[in-house]
C-alpha cells in the first residue's frame, strides 16, 4: 500500500468534490456521489475534474488504497457536514477486529455475508479487501444517500460488494447467509405495527430498532451460522433487555462478548461491544394436532391414533420415522399431504424416536400428547 498515492488521490477527489459542490450548489455528499458518476462515465464540462480523473486513473490505485482515500474524504466531509451517529462509518480498528473474528470463526474458505445497515460501505470494503476468506457480500441499507454513496464508491473501486436498498426490519426476499454482521443503528423503531410481529416487541412503547434487527438477522442466517453485532454496552441491561434475552435464549447461543475501549467512541454513552451469536436449530417437538388442520380426513386418522410427532425447525418440518415417513418436508408439502387420502399404517413406538436437543419442558409435553 502506497500512502503517497493515497494522499494524492485524496487531494484530487477533494478538489473535484469542492468544484462540483460549488457548481451545483449542493451538499458535500451529493457532490461526492456526482464525482463518482463522472469518474465512471466521463460526462462533464468541468475541465479541472476531467484532468484530475486522468491523474487518478494513472495512479492505478488498489482497492484498499481507494478505500483509504475515500475514508479520508468522508472524514473531511464530516468536519463541515457531520452525519448523524448511526450513519458514520465503522472505524478501521473495529473493522480489522471483525476480520480477525470472521477468519477465526468461519471454517469454509468461501462464505456468504449479509450486512444489515451497510451505511457508507466502509466496513464492507475493509472486510472484502483484507479477509482471508472469499466472500460473497450483500449490504442492505435503507437511507437514500448512503446507498448511493456506498454503491458509487464500490463501482469506482471495482469492488465485488453488492448493495440493495430496503428497510432491514421489514421482510426481505433474501437467501440464507453463512454470516451476518451489523454495526447496529441504535434507537427506537417508529412503526409499532411492523414491530409487533417480532418476539422482542415492546407492548408499552416503541421497540428498540437494534433489537428488531437482531431478531430479523437470524431469519436470514443458516443454522449454525454466526451473527456478529456491534451493539451498545448496555444491550443486556437496557429497559427492554428482558424481551431480547427471552428471545435469545430460544434462538441463539452467545459465543462471545468483546468490550471495546471507550476511547474509540466520541463519548462513553456511545461505546459499543461486539456480540457474537450462533444460530441454534431450535428443534421443538409438537403433536400433530397442534399443526394439522382439524377438518381433513388426514387429520382425523392421525389424531385419533395419537402417534404423529413432528419437529419444526424454523419454517421447515422434519418427520422422523413417523408412520413410515422420514426426510425433510416443507410446510407446503405437509399441507399438500393433508389433502390426500390417508393411509392405514401401523404406528411406530414413539419411545424409540430420538429427539435432539430436547428440554425437560419438551419431554413433559411429549408425554402429555402420547
pLDDT in tens, the chain (370 residues): 888 999 999 999 999 999 999 999 999 999 999 999 999 998 888 999 999 999 999 999 999 999 999 999 999 988 888 877 777 888 888 999 999 999 999 999 999 999 999 999 999 999 999 999 999 999 999 999 999 999 999 999 999 999 999 999 988 888 899 999 999 988 899 999 999 999 999 998 999 999 999 999 999 999 889 999 999 998 989 889 999 998 988 888 889 999 888 888 777 878 889 999 999 875 443 333 343 334 343 343 334 333 333 333 333 333 333 333 333 344 454 455 445 444 433 444 444 444 444 444 444 444 444 4
- Predicted confidence at residue 336, as pLDDT, reads 53
Q: Are residues 12 and 156 in the same domain?
A: no
274's enclosing H/E stretch is strand 272-279
Number of domains in the chain: 3
CA dist 92 and 72 (Å) reads: 12
| 3-state SS, residue 131 | coil
Domain boundary among 279, 311, 327: 279
Q: Are residues 115 and 198 in the same domain?
A: yes
Q: Are residues 229 and 156 in the same domain?
A: yes
Q: Are residues 247 and 353 in the same domain?
A: no
Sheet of strand 284-287: strand arrangement: 284-287, 309-313, 316-322, 325-330
Q: Are residues 256 and 200 in the same domain?
A: yes
- Predicted confidence at residue 304, as pLDDT, reads 37
Fill in the DSSP letter of residue 222.
E
Q: Can you tell me which residue has the cell 399438500? A: 336
- Predicted confidence at residue 361, as pLDDT, reads 46
Query: Cβ(319)–Cβ(292) under 8 Å?
Result: no
Q: Are residues 308 and 254 in the same domain?
A: no
Domain boundary among 249, 279, 309: 279
Percent of the chain that is helix, strand, coil (3-state, to 5): 45, 20, 35
Q: Are residues 232 and 122 in the same domain?
A: yes
Q: Are residues 135 and 268 in the same domain?
A: yes
The CA distances from residue 268 to 79, 96, 239, 334, in Å, are 21, 22, 18, 52
| 3-state SS, residue 286 | strand
| 3-state SS, residue 185 | coil
Domain boundary among 223, 258, 279: 279
Q: Are residues 333 and 205 in the same domain?
A: no
Q: Are residues 107 and 231 in the same domain?
A: yes
Q: Are residues 239 and 337 in the same domain?
A: no
Boundaries of domain holding 333:
284-369
CA dist 233 and 257 (Å) reads: 10
Between helix 122-130 and helix 144-157 the angle, nearest 10°, is 30
Q: Are residues 217 and 341 in the same domain?
A: no
The CA distances from residue 207 to 136, 187, 198, 240, 353, in Å, are 32, 8, 10, 8, 41
- Predicted confidence at residue 335, as pLDDT, reads 53
- Predicted confidence at residue 342, as pLDDT, reads 42
Amino acid at each position: 500500500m502506497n500512502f503517497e498515492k493515497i494522499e494524492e488521490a485524496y487531494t484530487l477527489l477533494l478538489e473535484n468534490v469542492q468544484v462540483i459542490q460549488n457548481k451545483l450548489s449542493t451538499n458535500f455528499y451529493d457532490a461526492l456521489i456526482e464525482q463518482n458518476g463522472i469518474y465512471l462515465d466521463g460526462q462533464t464540462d468541468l475541465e479541472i475534474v476531467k484532468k484530475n480523473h486522468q491523474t487518478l486513473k494513472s495512479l492505478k490505485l488498489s482497492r484498499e488504497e481507494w478505500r483509504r482515500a475515500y475514508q479520508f474524504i468522508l472524514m473531511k466531509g464530516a468536519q463541515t457536514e457531520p452525519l448523524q451517529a448511526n450513519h458514520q462509518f465503522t472505524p478501521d480498528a473495529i473493522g480489522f477486529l471483525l476480520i480477525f473474528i470472521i477468519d477465526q470463526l468461519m471454517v469454509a474458505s468461501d462464505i456468504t455475508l449479509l450486512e444489515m445497515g451497510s451505511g457508507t460501505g466502509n466496513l464492507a470494503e475493509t472486510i472484502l479487501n483484507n479477509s482471508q476468506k472469499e466472500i460473497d457480500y450483500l449490504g442492505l441499507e435503507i437511507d437514500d444517500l448512503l446507498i448511493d454513496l456506498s454503491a458509487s464508491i464500490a463501482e469506482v473501486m471495482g469492488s465485488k460488494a453488492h448493495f440493495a436498498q430496503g428497510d432491514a426490519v421489514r421482510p426481505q426476499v433474501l437467501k440464507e447467509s453463512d454470516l451476518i454482521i451489523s454495526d447496529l443503528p441504535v434507537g427506537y423503531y417508529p412503526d409499532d405495527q411492523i414491530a409487533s410481529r417480532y418476539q422482542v416487541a415492546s407492548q408499552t412503547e416503541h421497540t428498540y430498532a437494534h433489537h428488531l434487527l437482531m431478531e430479523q438477522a437470524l431469519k436470514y442466517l443458516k443454522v449454525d451460522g454466526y451473527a456478529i453485532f456491534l451493539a451498545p454496552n448496555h444491550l443486556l441491561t437496557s429497559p427492554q433487555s428482558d424481551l431480547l434475552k427471552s428471545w435469545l435464549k430460544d434462538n441463539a447461543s452467545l459465543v462471545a462478548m468483546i468490550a471495546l475501549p471507550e476511547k474509540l467512541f466520541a463519548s462513553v454513552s456511545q461505546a459499543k461491544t461486539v456480540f457474537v451469536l450462533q444460530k441454534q436449530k431450535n428443534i421443538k417437538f409438537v403433536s400433530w394436532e397442534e399443526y394439522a388442520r382439524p377438518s381433513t380426513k388426514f387429520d382425523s386418522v392421525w389424531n385419533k391414533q395419537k402417534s404423529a410427532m413432528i419437529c419444526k425447525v424454523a419454517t421447515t418440518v422434519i418427520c422422523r420415522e413417523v408412520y413410515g415417513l422420514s426426510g425433510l418436508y416443507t410446510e407446503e408439502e405437509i399441507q399438500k399431504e393433508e389433502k390426500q387420502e390417508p393411509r392405514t399404517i401401523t404406528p411406530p413406538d414413539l419411545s424409540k424416536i430420538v429427539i435432539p436437543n430436547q428440554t425437560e419442558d419438551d419431554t413433559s409435553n411429549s408425554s402429555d400428547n402420547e
